[in-house]
């Protein structure tokens, strides 16, 4: 893997981005860049011609996710835990904070570290944004709404979070991180953009990630029982990763009128049982449904109101669940062929 290099160079150069428009070349830090969303984001930013530094502690990230990117001389990787301050020489234009395990079984493995990641990690990166004059993106979450009693969830809803339970390290950690973002924007004039991300899936999730889409697809491909927690009547609204990354980039580059959190997600809602049926149909698996215990505090329903993202960012998802599941299944099927152990360790 490439070592960190050339930090702070080339920022006066320009490049042609995906839009075909000439844009200034930026130096960008992606914390959590070796994870599922982070690795897609690093690729997108490199494709736009920017210099990208990925900082990750590899808790749930993988070097394989960014291996292909390391052939690009504008990309570098640092192994770093964001709960400690990160020192980088030279200017930075943008910082994306995606560092934090997102899957409930993963973030609950070491809940105290999860809280530290959310609070100390965000604080350290905000301090860096302040020092460098960089724009700051915070990956917040629909979990700030907890088990919502208002449906669908718009940004004005304050949520229904259990502050004392197994999900609290993540939900409350992310809420505290939002408060820090608010205060750095108000007190120190840092340009902060907060996205509340709703369930996003796609290639480069870990086979053993534990979240529902990867679990169901991997189980179906292996012909194993598909594990439905509870009755399967709980709902989620699933966003494909390419749509989400597009929304993230639009948000960080948005003008000064966007100062408060924005929901990013696909507003089409499914029950978990419907998702299982879709996966079974698409894979043609002989897997049967296995009913399991519902985890504590599992939200019963979730659907984003994305009016604000539509109006302020001109953004809405374009890839619907059937297509996204097809693409994600193709990814896991090729993983299974390439390295069967990566799948057989799963779920
Ligand atoms: P992921 O677990 O695949 O990626 C998280 C990355 O952060 C991993 O590479 C991990 O190693 C790294 N990381 C964790 N703790 C760290 C620390 N202390 N220091 C440095 N690196 C650390 O999860 P993801 O789905 O890619 O999520 C990325 C971000 O988006 C997270 O902050 C998550 O809370 C947020 N988010 C994701 C979703 C989703 O549906 N994917 C929904 C809401 C919010
Ligand atoms: N879920 C499930 N089977 C699994 C994994 C998850 O039924 O193998 C359920 C889980 O209980 C929740 C939903 O699917 O109701 C989404 O879970 P996930 O962990 O993907 O995300 P989150 O709970 O954070 O929305």
Residues 197-225: pLDDT tens digits? 999 999 999 999 999 999 999 999 999 99
Is residue 6 predicted with pLDDT exceeding 50? Answer: no
Q: Domain with 311 in it: what CATH number?
A: 3.40.50.720
Is residue 342 predicted with pLDDT exceeding 70? Answer: no
Is residue 341 predicted with pLDDT exceeding 50? Answer: yes
Cα 253 to ligand 2 centre (Å): 32
Is residue 13 predicted with pLDDT exceeding 60? Answer: no
- Indicate the pairing of strand 22-24 with strand 14-16: antiparallel
Is residue 21 predicted with pLDDT exceeding 80? Answer: no
Is residue 150 predicted with pLDDT exceeding 50? Answer: yes
Under DSSP, the state recorded for 286 is -
Angle at 33 between CA 165 and CA 104, to 5 degrees: 20
More confidently predicted of 20 and 124: 124
Structural domain includes residue 7: no
Residues 6+ apart with CB under 8 A from 129: 92, 95, 135, 136, 184, 190, 192
Tell me the pTM. 0.94
Structural domain includes residue 121: yes
Q: How confident is the model at residue 337 (pLDDT cuts 50, 70, 90)?
A: confident
Ligand 2 atom 11: the closest Cα is on which residue? 229
Angle at 194 between CA 192 and CA 195, to 5 degrees: 150
Is residue 343 predicted with pLDDT exceeding 70? Answer: no
Structural domain includes residue 270: yes
Is the beta carbon of 295 within 6 A of some atom in ligand 2? yes
Tell which one of 35, 171, 248 to mutate to probe ligand 1, the residue whose CB is within 8 A of the most ligand atoms.
35
High-pLDDT (> 70) share of the chain, %: 91
Check: CB of residue 327 under 8 Å from CB of residue 240.
Answer: yes
Domains: count for the chain: 1
Residues with CB under 6 A from ligand 1: 31-32, 34-38, 56-61, 81-83, 98-102, 117, 121, 139, 141, 197, 199-200
- The predicted model gives 54-79 an average pLDDT of 98
Tell which one of 43, 57, 98 to mutate to probe ligand 1, the residue whose CB is within 8 A of the most ligand atoms.
98
Tell which one of 143, 235, 272 to mutate to probe ligand 2, the residue whose CB is within 8 A of the most ligand atoms.
272
Q: Which residues are catalytic?
A: 170
Structural domain includes residue 232: yes
Ligand 2 atom 16: the closest Cα is on which residue? 212
Domain hosting 210: range is 14-344
Structural domain includes residue 6: no
The pLDDT mean for the chain works out to: 93
- The predicted model gives 300-307 an average pLDDT of 98
Q: How confident is the model at residue 15 (pLDDT cuts 50, 70, 90)?
A: very low
Structural domain includes residue 159: yes
- The predicted model gives 130-147 an average pLDDT of 98
* CB atoms closer than 10 angstroms to residue 158: 10
């Amino acid at each position: 893997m490439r070592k960190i290099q050339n930090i702070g160079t080339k920022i006066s150069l320009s490049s042609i981005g995906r839009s075909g428009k000439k844009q200034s070349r930026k130096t960008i830090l992606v914390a959590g860049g070796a994870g599922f969303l982070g690795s897609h984001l690093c690729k997108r930013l490199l494709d736009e011609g920017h210099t990208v530094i990925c900082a990750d502690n590899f808790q749930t990230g993988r070097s394989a996710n960014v291996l292909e990117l390391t052939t690009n001389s504008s990309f570098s990787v640092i192994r770093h835990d964001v709960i400690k301050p990160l020192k980088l020489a030279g200017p930075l234009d943008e910082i994306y904070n995606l560092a934090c395990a997102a899957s409930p079984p993963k973030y609950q493995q070491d809940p105290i570290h999860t809280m530290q990641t959310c609070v100390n990690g965000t604080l350290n990166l905000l301090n860096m944004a302040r020092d460098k004059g960089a724009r700051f993106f915070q990956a917040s979450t629909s979990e700030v709404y907890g088990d919502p009693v208002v449906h669908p969830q718009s940004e004005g809803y304050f949520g229904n979070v259990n502050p004392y339970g197994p999900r609290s390290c993540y939900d409350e950690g992310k809420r505290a991180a939002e408060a820090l973002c608010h205060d750095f924007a108000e007190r120190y004039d840092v340009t902060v953009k907060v996205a509340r991300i709703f369930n996003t899936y796609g290639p480069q999730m870990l086979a053993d990630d534990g979240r529902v889409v990867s679990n169901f697809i991997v189980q179906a491909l292996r012909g194993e029982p598909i594990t439905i927690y509870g009755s399967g009547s709980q709902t989620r609204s699933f966003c494909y990763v390419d749509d989400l990354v597009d929304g993230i980039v639009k948000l960080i580059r948005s003008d000064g009128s966007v100062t408060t959190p924005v929901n990013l997600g696909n507003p089409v809602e499914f029950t978990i049982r419907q998702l299982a049926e879709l996966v079974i149909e698409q894979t043609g698996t002989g897997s049967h449904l296995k009913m399991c215990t519902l985890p504590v505090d599992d939200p019963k329903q979730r659907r984003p109101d994305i009016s604000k993202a539509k109006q302020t960012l001109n953004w809405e998802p374009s890839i619907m669940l059937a297509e996204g599941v097809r693409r994600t299944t193709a990814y896991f099927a090729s993983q299974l062929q390439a390295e069967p152990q990566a799948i057989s360790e799963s779920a």
